Structure 1
């Protein structure tokens, strides 16, 4: 068996359905039933409006006929650490692509995995870490953002306007000039059932958390772009980044790159930086009656958007390959330029690994799906307008999997996207700052940052959730339903 780890500048035609030998090995796994919103345990609020796909063609919009994503820029990022208390590292760093020289047999996935790691880690306010990371940037002003969403919520809406029948729901809140879309599962700590395949063990073997972000569970990124007339900010999970550039394609990337060039720093310099940075932490000043304190550590380094990748694994014996018609929309929402497809033999040996620049493919998908994309633009404008006009500004979007998309008031008192302190800072356009190192006490083992007064800390610090699985469903996380 030969090992093929290829890199090409264009992937069209490279992901045709794979036909394997039948009659041997384990039987193919049947796809699982998708999890549906539990409206009995979590009742729906008052119905405000129902939107059908066909209605969107007749709704007015300020957008031009061709609606595209432009001016994509990296804004901030953070890593969740595997700590007992909720802890993030800002700006963090994605796992580095470190492929094995020779294929090795990997163990099959085992263990328990959350559907939404952000909610599982910080169930009261899953959007709080991303707001802290964004507000830490001196260049950011919330008044310029119309929509703050994650890859999962936008992916669900994109599937709806494309006529797909997957049920979903998410919360909506207007804070200042920004409308937040907040992912909502049946339970914040809901687990993925029937995990199988190699969607976890493959990235564990082929990517590495570098020294300054050791102990990380996930890297969450926030990008900003213009979509139609909307200035959007989108959080998503990043599977990893490519440090080396074998054919020079990163240097000419049209996507935004960071001014930070630390991705070319030597391992020794990374280690020194980690010793300097990762010991700096303090619990944020969140109200204890609202939620558990969130610990923010400064560490890692900014990685340009053109270096990151999305990853899927699949059996080479399956009767289907990786359906790129499901992948391209998610890459488009996240503006991820690279895709890694890893095929295994059914027993844990990966002999076919393809690392590809898919920007041209994503642009072609955008052009070919302009009608659906235009409907998405109109739908977003509709939801935003209703949220801003609502007295409470607390809504939810619900789609049962058939019929129309329902825009409702949140049931009961509702749930806010952010704790009150962060809401005020966002609405008032007040960027957070902290205390410089020189102001910290010298007789303590840790140096603390006060996010309200530090002019020296200007760190440009997520479906979305773990996405290493073979599954192509954005909000499914590690489900492994398509592995075999």
Structure 2
């Protein structure tokens, strides 16, 4: 399935709608002025237990579509890497691109697509019931982005420049802490000096049926040193695979078993009574695409020839770690002329050395997550707390609004 030319099936796009940009939001909007607490960066004494991710399982995925109202395609599919021979020329990025597509399309309920995509995935596998958000005893539901921001706070505090300011809105659902991504702007205008988005377009083809989608998101659950996590992240591309359908009703045991099982499922309506789409809480779900094995997904990054040798793995590696993305492709260019693609695996000795080097920071992150959960649980179901990092200082504020980040009927699914 690898090709040596540009797409012949249309174009999967990360471009954002061209509606006018709004002014940047104030990081303190909707917050009470006095901080409840300031978090110190946790200290670790001794070697500590290595932070590992175990029990990785894919529980859902979706693509956003270009429909006029918020619509996701489940399970969707990532663009397919075409393995083009270098060199080839790519134009500079232009126009509007997404910073946070979920926040742009569902600003008041950024986690809603997670719940609905997981439900649809469970239905597609003929599971006995919906995903048990209460029984699974999940500690955190979050975007990968939130974990990366907290890790940067730990790594970069006291440095010059200080880490970029950020905000994360929290809410307690049962015993689960929901971490809602917050961005000052959900779209930005390309500078005209980068090539990453157009490199993706030139180097991948949209999966069949996904030509009108604008971003593939995957949802996984895993154990992070005793913390049970549900994490959403965007997938740049996948290596095309051909997976034979599985017969019988065996239990899905891991992420690749689930992908193999779903690969044999016809996602078209099973009878004339089955709906092609459903709409709930302002979000429409349509069926389409196909689940790909987790082992095939990859992260694409671009650097100039001058900067490629100094690639910052301390910043880039957490992107792979928190999603357990197994492949990293670093594309090297000179003013958009791509001359090489350096391919590395998550389990390679080089990246395992990076993980070993990052263990103290990962250990501090796990402690910090525990402290965050403690204060959110302390303030209970009616608490509306927000984490704000400014100038490297992480503080907790109360929100002035009691609005919930998910509809009440979905919040109840986290309760006993």
TM range (shorter): 0.7 to 0.9
- Unpaired runs of at least 5, structure 1: 1-34, 59-63, 246-253, 287-292, 429-484
Partner residue of 1:185? 183
SS in 2 for 1:129: helix
- Unpaired runs of at least 5, structure 2: 1-22, 243-252
Match among 198, 201, 207 for residue 201 of structure 1:
198
SS in 2 for 1:334: coil
User: Is structure 2 residue 273 aligned with structure 1 residue 285?
Assistant: no
Query: How much does 1:399 deviate?
Result: 1.0
Match among 301, 308, 311 for residue 312 of structure 1:
301
Partner residue of 1:110? 94
- Structure 1 residues 174 and 45, CA, compared in 2 at 3 Å: closer, same or farther? farther
Q: Distance in 2 between matches of 1:158 and 1:302?
A: 30
SS in 2 for 1:370: helix
- Which deviates more, 349-358 or 222-231? 349-358
TM-score (norm. length: structure 1): 0.69
Q: Distance in 2 between matches of 1:45 and 1:190?
A: 27
Tell whether the 8 Å contact from 2:133 to 2:413 is kept in structure 1 after alignment.
Answer: no
Partner residue of 1:341? 330
- Structure 1 residues 45 and 303, CA, compared in 2 at 3 Å: closer, same or farther? farther
- Structure 1 residues 131 and 276, CA, compared in 2 at 3 Å: closer, same or farther? same
Tell whether the 8 Å contact from 2:27 to 2:167 is kept in structure 1 after alignment.
Answer: no
SS in 1 for 2:202: helix
User: Is structure 2 residue 35 aligned with structure 1 residue 47?
Assistant: yes
Tell whether the 8 Å contact from 1:262 to 1:302 is kept in structure 2 after alignment.
Answer: no
Tell whether the 8 Å contact from 2:80 to 2:207 is kept in structure 1 after alignment.
Answer: yes
SS in 2 for 1:331: helix
Q: Distance in 2 between matches of 1:349 and 1:276?
A: 47
Structure with bigger strand share is 2
Q: Distance in 2 between matches of 1:102 and 1:405?
A: 45
Partner residue of 1:74? 58
Partner residue of 1:398? 388
Q: Distance in 1 between matches of 2:63 and 2:261?
A: 17
Aligned residues between the structures: 365
Tell whether the 8 Å contact from 1:82 to 1:216 is kept in structure 2 after alignment.
Answer: yes
Q: CA RMSD in A?
A: 3.0
Partner residue of 2:170? 172
- Structure 1 residues 395 and 299, CA, compared in 2 at 3 Å: closer, same or farther? same
SS in 2 for 1:210: coil
User: Is structure 2 residue 143 aligned with structure 1 residue 150?
Assistant: yes
Q: Distance in 2 between matches of 1:334 and 1:423?
A: 25
SS in 1 for 2:51: coil
Partner residue of 1:355? 343
